[in-house]
């Protein structure tokens, strides 16, 4: 093996799917793209990394709620557009052709066209590392969607599209019993 740039090491750890985070700041709905995510244990808790440089941050901090929407492969250009523009300047729902749907427990909207949506409360903000901890309180999945392939960011402008699904459920039984 050859040495590689330590600053590129993050590209070796491909995270979960790229997600869209919707918020409502009391004035309007907004969407941002997030690839830095983490599942927290076998719980409905999730960590995302973001900060005050984004318009969405103020709504997350003040209203303490959001929706995590999961886009699929054919929505890649909308995902990039949403992640390279700001709700400060445009209405992203209108601009990128997504439909806001009323959520049950939060003012942030679901995205109708996405594969799944999770209504979340912000339960902690770890300022030192710009980590926000979310707790999911309701989840929706559109099983009638033909394409369920999610998008995975490498971190250098390239993406891996979800492929083959394999099972090792039996071998992992001791870890999963009573949980899944
Ligand atoms: C593929 C992709 C992944 C991104 N991941 C993150 C992320 O994990 N955290 C973050 O703060 N910004 C991330 N961004 C950038 C934000 O989505 C971007 O700054 C956006 O303009 C914020 O929108 P807002 O100003 O309307 O909140 C990502 C952008 C793209 C295109």
Span from the CA of 24 to the centroid of ligand 1 (angstroms)? 16
- Binned at pLDDT 50, 70 and 90, residue 179 comes out as confident
Report whether residue 159 contacts ligand 1, using a CB cutoff of 6 Å.
no
Tell me the pLDDT of the chain averaged across its residues: 94
- Binned at pLDDT 50, 70 and 90, residue 19 comes out as very high
Entry pTM: 0.95
Domain borders along the chain are 16-176
Q: Which CATH number fits domain 16-176: 2.30.110.10, 3.30.499.10, 3.30.9.100, 3.40.50.1820?
A: 2.30.110.10
Window from 22-26, 60-64, 94-98, 160-164 with minimum mean pLDDT? 160-164
Span from the CA of 111 to the centroid of ligand 1 (angstroms)? 17
Q: How far is CA 106 from CA 10, 109, 124, 137, in A?
A: 33, 8, 17, 9
Residue 15 pLDDT > 80: no
- Binned at pLDDT 50, 70 and 90, residue 9 comes out as confident
Average pLDDT score over residue span 85-90: 98
List the residue whose alpha carbon is closest to atom 7 of ligand 1: 34
Q: Are 29 and 99 in contact (CB under 8 A)?
A: no
């Amino acid at each position: 093996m050859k040495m590689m740039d330590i600053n590129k090491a993050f590209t070796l750890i491909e995270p979960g799917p790229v997600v869209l985070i919707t918020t409502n700041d009391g004035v309007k709905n907004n969407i941002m793209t997030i690839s830095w995510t983490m599942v927290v244990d076998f719980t409905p808790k999730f960590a995302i990394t973001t900060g005050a440089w984004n318009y969405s941050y103020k709504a997350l901090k003040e209203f303490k709620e959001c929706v995590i929407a999961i886009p699929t492969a054919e929505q890649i250009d909308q995902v990039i557009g949403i992640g390279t523009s700001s709700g400060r300047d445009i209405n992203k729902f209108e601009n990128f052709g997504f439909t806001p749907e009323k959520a049950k427990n939060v003012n942030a909207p679901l995205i109708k066209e996405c594969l799944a949506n999770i209504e979340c409360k912000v339960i902690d903000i770890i300022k030192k590392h710009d980590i926000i901890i979310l707790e999911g309180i309701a989840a929706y999945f559109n099983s009638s969607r033909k394409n369920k392939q999610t998008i995975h960011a490498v971190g250098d402008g390239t993406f891996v599209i979800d492929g083959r699904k394999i099972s090792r459920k039996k071998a992992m039984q001791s870890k999963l019993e009573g949980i899944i």
